[in-house]
Structure formats: structure tokens, C-alpha cells
Amino acid sequence: MVSQPVIGVLALQGDVREHLTALRSLGADPISVRRPAELAACDGLVVPGGESTTMVKLARIFELLEPLREAVRGGLPTFGTCAGMIMLADRIEDGAVGQETIGGLHITVRRNAFGRQVDSFEDDLEVDGLAAPVRAVFIRAPWVEAVADDVDVLARVAVGPAAGRIVAVRQGPLMATSFHPEVGSDDRVHGMFVDLVRSA
């Protein structure tokens, strides 16, 4: 067990700094990842929110896409939030034409699933493993359309037209949320991931 694990945040695009701050406050040693050598130094990785189509293009340009795929396949604990959830998904509905992902998480995500009417919203979510609900912030978020048998559902939307939709999952060392746990001061979801990295 590594007590101060090195946790990378993929820093090609998106809200990197908020994740670095949350991870640091939980006692991890966070680093920005833009190169394969930085990725290789990580005990765990966060793929942040942002724009998945841009992020995957930049990952190719920075020659990180294949190393990321190998790392995830090789069991690197990885946590994707929002666009990061899309990046980890094996399949995308409503993706851009030919949109690639890192993959590894046996789910189908629907991109921009909540639609224009509710581009962004907040919900108090019961998350499996946490005692009290999480105030979850959704920003042009995906939801999980389908999961394989080896994927645990950690949270579903509680109310409104999307009630019942899956918005947090775990599969072995992989975790993903549709929402942005790095927004605000509640670091319990990051805490779940840091625990996962520590126990890996």
C-alpha cells in the first residue's frame, strides 16, 4: 500500500486544477500528465471533465492515446469525470463521427444525454459507499446507457425526467461519474478513488 500515491490528472484540456487541489487535500501526490513518461510515474489517474472530442484529439497529437489504453488495460486505477467518463467508456451514443475513446470501462455512455433544456443542473445523489448524499453538479453531462455484468452502479439520478439514469459506476480499479465531484468542497468522491488507488 502506497500511503502518498502519485495520482496524475490528464492535463490536455478541461478542469485539471480543481482535481489537483482535491487530490492534494486528501494526501495524494498529484501531478499533471501530458507525456507518456509522466503517465508511467502514476499510481492512479484522473481523466477530468472538459470536451471529450477535443481531449481525444489532443491525446493522439501528444502520443498519449495508446499509452493511456495500455495503462488502463494494465490495471492502472483510473477515475473519469464527465468528459472523462466518456473517455473511459467502451462505447458512445451520440458521439462525434468516429469519436474514439481510451476505453476499458464496459459501459455505453450517451453524450450530452440530459439535453438542452437541462444543460446544467444539480442533484443530491445517494452514492453507494458514502453515508450522506453528494451535491452533484452536472454540466452537459453524459449518462450511462448500459453496463456489463462486471460494472457496479454507484449512483442514479434521484428526481426529474432523468430519474433512474446511471451517473456513477465502478469496475474493478476503474471509476467514473457523469457529474463533477471537483466542483465545491466535498471531496468524498475523490476520497473513494484515493482509497481505491491505495488498496490497488
Angle at 175 between CA 174 and CA 177, to 5 degrees: 150
| Residue window 107-146: x/- pattern of binding to ligand GLN, with contact defined by CB under 6 A | ----xx--------------------------xx------
- The window from 1-9, 50-58, 126-134, 188-196 that contacts ligand GLN (CB under 6 A) reads 50-58
Helix-helix angle 16-25:188-199, to 10 degrees: 70
User: Is 51 labelled as part of a ligand binding site?
Assistant: yes
User: Residue type for 145, please?
Assistant: E
Residue 82 in contact with ligand GLN, rule: CB under 6 A: yes
Residue 78 grid cell: 483510473
**Residue 82 or residue 154: which is nearer to ligand GLN going by CB?**
82
Among 83, 137, 144, 155, binds ligand GLN (CB under 6 A): 83
Which one from 82, 106, 145, 190 is the annotated catalytic residue?
82
User: Is 52 labelled as part of a ligand binding site?
Assistant: yes
Query: Is 28 within 8 Å of 12 (Cβ atoms)?
Result: no
Cα(90)–Cα(92) distance, integer angstroms? 7
Residues 52-71 that bind ligand GLN (CB under 6 A): 52
DSSP reduced 3-state for 135: strand
CB of residue 37 to ligand GLN, shortest distance in Å: 26
Beta-sheet strands, E only, within 11-158: 29-33, 44-47, 78-81, 89-93, 105-110, 120-125, 134-139, 143-147, 152-156
Residue 86 in contact with ligand GLN, rule: CB under 6 A: yes
Which residues fall in the annotated binding site for L-glutamine?
50-52, 111, 139-140
Residue numbers at the binding site for ligand GLN (CB under 6 A): 49-52, 82-83, 86, 111-112, 139-140
Catalytically active residues are: 82, 180, 182
